[in-house]
Amino acid sequence: MDKMLYTAATGAARVMEAQTIRANNLANAETTGFKADLERVNAKVLAPTGNSLHTRVMAQTESSGFSQQAGAMNPTGRTLDLAIRDQGLFTVMTEQGEAYTRSGNLVPDTNGQLTIDGRPVAGIDGPIVLPEYRQLFIGDDGRISVVAAEGGIIEEVGLLKLVKPELNAVDKGLDGMFYSRDGNILPASEEVRVDSGFLEASNVNAVNELIASMDLSRQFEVQVKLMKTAEKLAEAGNRLIRNA
C-alpha cells in the first residue's frame, strides 16, 4: 500500500506544479509581450524489484520552454509603443547584464532615458537618452530621431539593439524576461523590424488555460481519492493482522 500511496502523492504533486504554470499564464493574460509557459510531463518507469512486473510509472513535470506564437498587434497611437514583427527581441539592461523582452512599451524616466518596465533600454551605442524635442520618429529598424525643441533640426538620438536569436538559445526567467542560455551577450540583428504605435498582446489563450486548469483539478481529485483508498486498504490490512 505504501507504493500505491507514494505513486498517488507524486501524481498529485505533479498536478499542483502544472496548476502553478497555468495560474501564472492566466495572471499574465493581459501582460504586454508575455509568452505563455508550457508544461511537459515525462513518464518515468520505475525499476522493478524482485519478481515484480514493470507496472509502476511515475509522472515527472519538466520544463518545455514557452509558446513561440506571436501575440496580437494592438494599436495604441503612441509613438514610443513598439511591436516587433515576426521574430526578435528588445534588449534591456539588468543587474545581471543584458536581458531580452517582447514588450515594447518605452517610457522615458525623469532624465529622459528610455526604459521598459523600469529597466534601461539598450541601444547599439549604450543607453538611449531623449533630449528636449518637439516631435519624435522611430523607424522600422529601431532608429530613433527627434526634431529638436529649438532650431527644428532632425537629430538621431539612438538605435535600439534588436536581437534575433534561435529560440532554443534563450531561456525564460522567473521575471518573465529572456536570457541567453550560455550567458553570452546576443549580437544585434539588422533583420528585426518594429512597428511604432502598436503593442504586442500576450499570447495566452485564457479559455484554453481555464479548461486545462479544470482538467488538472479533476486529476488532482483522482489522485486524492487514490491516496484515501490506499489508506483504507492499509487500515484493513492492519485489522487483519491484529485479529490473526
**Predicted TM-score of the model (pTM):** 0.78
Tens digit of each residue's pLDDT, the chain (244 residues): 467 777 777 778 888 888 888 999 999 999 999 999 887 777 677 676 666 666 666 666 666 678 888 899 999 999 999 999 988 999 999 988 899 999 999 999 999 999 999 999 999 998 999 998 889 999 999 999 999 877 778 889 999 999 999 878 898 888 889 999 888 899 999 999 999 999 999 999 999 999 988 998 898 888 888 888 887 887 777 777 777 6
* Residue type at 14 in one-letter notation: R
Give residue 151's pLDDT.
Answer: 74
**pLDDT per residue as tens digits for the range 58-109:** 666 666 678 888 899 999 999 999 999 988 999 999 988 899 999 999 999 9
Contact indicator for 92, 101 with CB cutoff of 8 Å = yes
Could you list the beta-strand ranges (E) of 106-236: 106-108, 114-116, 119-120, 122-123, 126-127, 133-138, 143-148, 154-159, 162-163, 170-172, 178-180, 194-196, 198-200
